[in-house]
Structure 1
Amino acid sequence: MNVMDDIASSMNGSSAALTLGEGVTGILVRETNPEDVNEVSFAYGSQNDSMSIIENKDDAAPFSRSVTVPKEAFDKAVSLNVSIPFAAMFRFLNMAKDELNSTILGDEVMAVEMGTNITDLTDKISINFRQMKYKGIPSCRSWNGEGARPNWTDDGCETITEGDNITCQCSHLTFFAILMAPPNETISSSDLKSLTIITQAGCGLSMVFLGVVLFMHFLMRRTKASIATRILIHLVGAMFLLNLSFLVNNAVANLKSAVGCQIMAALMHYFMLSTFTWFAVQALHICLQLHMTGKITISRYLLKVSVISWVLPSVVVMVIGIVGKYGEQIIYTSDSDETVSMCWITDSNVHYVVNIGYYSLVFLVTFTTFIIILSWLFCLKRNKPTKVQNDKSGKSIVTIMGLCCMLGISWGFAFFAYGVLQIPAYYIFTVLNSFQGFFLFIYYYNTSHSGEEHNGVGSNSSNSSSTTSTTSTTILDKFENPYRNSPAKK
Structure 2
Amino acid sequence: MSKTPLNETISSSDLNKLTIITQVGCGLSMFFLGIVLFMHFLLRKSKASNSTRILIHLVTAMFLLNLSFLVNNYVADMKHAMGCKIMAAVMHYFMLATFTWFAAQAFHLCLQLYMEGKIVIRRYILKLCITSWVLPSVVVIVLLIVRKYGEQVISTSDTQQNVAMCWITDSDTHLAVNIGYYVLVFLFTFTTFIIVLSWLLCRRRTASGNAQDSRSGKSIITIMGLCCMLGITWGFAFFAYGVLRIPSYYIFTVLNSFQGFFLFIYYYNTSHSGEVAGGKNSNTTSSSSSTTTLKSNLDIFDNPYMNMPKKK
Query: Which residue of the other structure, out of 417, 420, 425, is the alignment partner of 2:243?
Result: 420
Task: Name the SS for the 1:293 alignment partner.
Answer: coil
What is the CA distance between 1:385 and its match in structure 2? Answer: 1.5
Query: Which residue of the other structure, out of 331, 336, 345, is the alignment partner of 2:154?
Result: 331
Structure 1 residue aligned with 2:201: 378
What is the CA distance between 1:482 and its match in structure 2? Answer: 2.7
Structure 2 residue aligned with 1:302: 125
Task: Name the SS for the 1:337 alignment partner.
Answer: helix
Q: Which structure 1 segments of 5+ residues have no match?
A: 1-181, 459-469
Query: Which residue of the other structure, out of 185, 210, 235, is the alignment partner of 2:8?
Result: 185
Of the two, which has the highest radius of gyration? Answer: 1
Tell me which protein shows more strand as a share of its residues: 1
Paired amino acid for 2:225: G
Paired amino acid for 2:187: L
Instruction: Provide closer, same or farther for how the CA distance between residues 388 and 273 of structure 1 changes in structure 2, counting only shifts above 3 A.
Output: same
Residues 279, 406 of structure 1: 8 Å contact kept:
yes
Structure 2 residue aligned with 1:453: 276
What is the CA distance between 1:474 and its match in structure 2? Answer: 6.3
Tell me which protein shows more helix as a share of its residues: 2
1:263 aligns with 2:70: no
Structure 1 residue aligned with 2:182: 359
What is the CA distance between 1:418 and its match in structure 2? Answer: 1.5
Q: How many residues align?
A: 297
Structure 2 residue aligned with 1:289: 112
1:393 aligns with 2:216: yes
What is the CA distance between 1:478 and its match in structure 2? Answer: 3.6
Residues 329, 344 of structure 1: 8 Å contact kept:
yes
Query: Which residue of the other structure, out of 59, 66, 70, is the alignment partner of 1:243?
Result: 66
What is the CA distance between 1:473 and its match in structure 2? Answer: 6.0
Structure 2 residue aligned with 1:311: 134
Query: Which residue of the other structure, out of 178, 202, 210, is the alignment partner of 2:25?
Result: 202
Structural mapping, 1:40-119, within 5 Å: none
Query: Which residue of the other structure, out of 338, 346, 350, is the alignment partner of 2:169?
Result: 346
Residues 277, 296 of structure 2: 8 Å contact kept:
no
Structure 1 residue aligned with 2:302: 480
Please, what TM-score do these two structures have when normalized by structure 1? 0.58
Instruction: Provide closer, same or farther for how the CA distance between residues 402 and 304 of structure 1 changes in structure 2, counting only shifts above 3 A.
Output: same
Residues 345, 351 of structure 1: 8 Å contact kept:
yes
What is the CA distance between 1:379 and its match in structure 2? Answer: 1.3
Please, what TM-score do these two structures have when normalized by structure 2? 0.91
Residues 150, 169 of structure 2: 8 Å contact kept:
yes
The whole-number CA distance in structure 1 between the counterparts of 2:252 and 2:121 is: 36
Residues 233-257 of structure 1, C-alpha deviation per residue, up to 9 Å, x if partnerless? Answer: 0000000000000001000000000
What is the CA distance between 1:361 and its match in structure 2? Answer: 0.6
The whole-number CA distance in structure 1 between the counterparts of 2:172 and 2:295 is: 39
Residues 228, 471 of structure 1: 8 Å contact kept:
no
Instruction: Provide closer, same or farther for how the CA distance between residues 474 and 191 of structure 1 changes in structure 2, counting only shifts above 3 A.
Output: farther
The whole-number CA distance in structure 2 between the counterparts of 1:454 and 1:484 is: 15
Task: Name the SS for the 1:331 alignment partner.
Answer: strand
The whole-number CA distance in structure 1 between the counterparts of 2:164 and 2:171 is: 15
Residues 289, 296 of structure 1: 8 Å contact kept:
yes
Q: Which structure 2 segments of 5+ residues have no match?
A: 282-291
The whole-number CA distance in structure 1 between the counterparts of 2:241 and 2:106 is: 26
Residues 166-194 of structure 1, C-alpha deviation per residue, up to 9 Å, x if partnerless? Answer: xxxxxxxxxxxxxxxx9962100000000
The whole-number CA distance in structure 2 between the counterparts of 1:286 and 1:226 is: 13
The whole-number CA distance in structure 1 between the counterparts of 2:297 and 2:199 is: 10
The whole-number CA distance in structure 2 between the counterparts of 1:248 and 1:192 is: 18
Residues 58, 101 of structure 2: 8 Å contact kept:
yes
Residues 331, 340 of structure 1: 8 Å contact kept:
yes
The whole-number CA distance in structure 2 between the counterparts of 1:474 and 1:206 is: 26
Instruction: Provide closer, same or farther for how the CA distance between residues 184 and 382 of structure 1 changes in structure 2, counting only shifts above 3 A.
Output: farther
Instruction: Provide closer, same or farther for how the CA distance between residues 473 and 436 of structure 1 changes in structure 2, counting only shifts above 3 A.
Output: farther
The whole-number CA distance in structure 2 between the counterparts of 1:368 and 1:265 is: 31
Task: Name the SS for the 2:159 alignment partner.
Answer: coil
Task: Name the SS for the 1:344 alignment partner.
Answer: strand
Instruction: Provide closer, same or farther for how the CA distance between residues 454 and 244 of structure 1 changes in structure 2, counting only shifts above 3 A.
Output: same
Task: Name the SS for the 2:94 alignment partner.
Answer: helix
Instruction: Provide closer, same or farther for how the CA distance between residues 222 and 281 of structure 1 changes in structure 2, counting only shifts above 3 A.
Output: farther
Paired amino acid for 1:423: I
Instruction: Provide closer, same or farther for how the CA distance between residues 218 and 475 of structure 1 changes in structure 2, counting only shifts above 3 A.
Output: closer
Task: Name the SS for the 1:376 alignment partner.
Answer: helix
Query: How many percent identity over aligned positions?
Result: 73
1:233 aligns with 2:56: yes
The whole-number CA distance in structure 1 between the counterparts of 2:66 and 2:78 is: 20
Residues 451, 472 of structure 1: 8 Å contact kept:
no
1:437 aligns with 2:268: no
Query: Which residue of the other structure, out of 129, 145, 158, is the alignment partner of 1:322?
Result: 145
